[in-house]
Structures are given as structure tokens and as C-alpha cells.
Amino acid sequence: MNRLIRGVGMKAKDFWEFLCNEMDYRFFTGVPCMGLKTIYDKMSSKLMYYVPATKESVALGIASGVSLSGIRSAVLININRVYNLMDWLTSFNLEYNIPLLIIAAGKKEDLAVGSLFSTYKIPCRNLKTIGDIKYITNKIKKFNKPGVLFVGEGVVSK
């Protein structure tokens, strides 16, 4: 399943099947946002568990706790809200080596926030191919720290 994203994007169903079945991510939480609507619409309780959160810091706390139990977890977030996570990421996840995936949606111009993550040596990747999912999840596993997958507009389609 090493598909390239074609033209308008990867199918949301393929995104979830690869992330859950191939990369073994099973737990997701986040504050719903319009940028991830296509992805949210294709979530399946057969593949994953999802717990909605009211604040980004709550989502990060839930996912971190699940991660500590040995289950690969992820936070879904709007890229513009990522600043709400930085104190928690740096003072908890990075300090105690708690790995998790952050799936951040935004417009192309918003993706420049990646420089913020590089300041803290948090691995980041723009989603363009299935290989990008594999790359970032392998970095998370290898370094035992959070990683960010940026999902730009139109990259994932129905």
C-alpha cells in the first residue's frame, strides 16, 4: 500500500486504513476543526477509538496517557491552535519521552509553523504520500517523542 497521492489527494479511507492497520495507531482525540472534516467523516470505530476534546491541552493529556499505556495515539488539531500545545509538549512529552502523533490541518501558508517544532527538535512532515505517514510515525517510534504530520487543504479527499 505504497500509494502516491494523486492530484487532489489521498482518499480519507486510505489514510485511516494505512495509519491504523499498517502503522498500528488505534487511539485518536482532538478538538474538531473544519480543516480535518474530510478525515473525521471517514473515521471508523472498526479501526480506532476516538474521544473528542474541548481544548487542545485536554486532547494532548488524553493522548499522552493512552500513549503511556503502550497504545499508539494521535491528536487531531487545527494548525492555528498548535501554540496552545507547546508548553505542554515541551514540559511533559519531550521531558518524559512520551511519543504521540499530532495531525495538524491548515492552509498552505499556515504550514510555516513547522519552524516552531524544529526549534524543539520535534520531527515534522507535510503529508504528500503514504510514505510521509510512514516517515513521521517511524521517527516518533525511533526517538520516542512527539511528531507532527501537516495536512494541507485538499490533500485528503472523500
What are the pLDDT digits (tens) for 53-82? 999 999 999 999 999 999 999 999 998 888
Reported as a single tens digit per residue, the pLDDT across 74-118 is: 999 998 888 788 889 999 999 999 999 999 988 765 656 667 787
CB 101 within 8 A of CB 25: yes
Q: At 63, which helix (H) or strand (E)?
A: helix 56-68
Contact present, 3 and 14 (Cβ < 8 Å) = yes
Give the pLDDT confidence score for residue 15 in this predicted structure.
95
Q: Could you tell me the pLDDT band of residue 152, with boundaries at 50, 70 and 90?
A: confident
| Tens digit of each residue's pLDDT (9 = 90 or more) over 3-48 | 444 444 689 999 999 999 999 999 999 998 888 899 999 999 999 9
CATH homologous superfamily, domain 10-157: Thiamin diphosphate (ThDP)-binding fold, Pyr/PP domains (3.40.50.970)
Angle CA 1–112–91, to nearest 5 = 90
Give the span between the Cα atoms of 117 and 106, in whole angstroms. Answer: 15
Give the pLDDT of residue 85.
86
pLDDT of residue 131: 93
Distance CA 128, CA 111 (A): 13
**Structural contact between residues 75 and 60, judged by C-beta atoms closer than 8 angstroms:** yes
Q: Please report the pLDDT score of residue 2 as a whole number.
A: 44
The pLDDT of residue 13 is 94
Domain ranges of the chain: 10-157
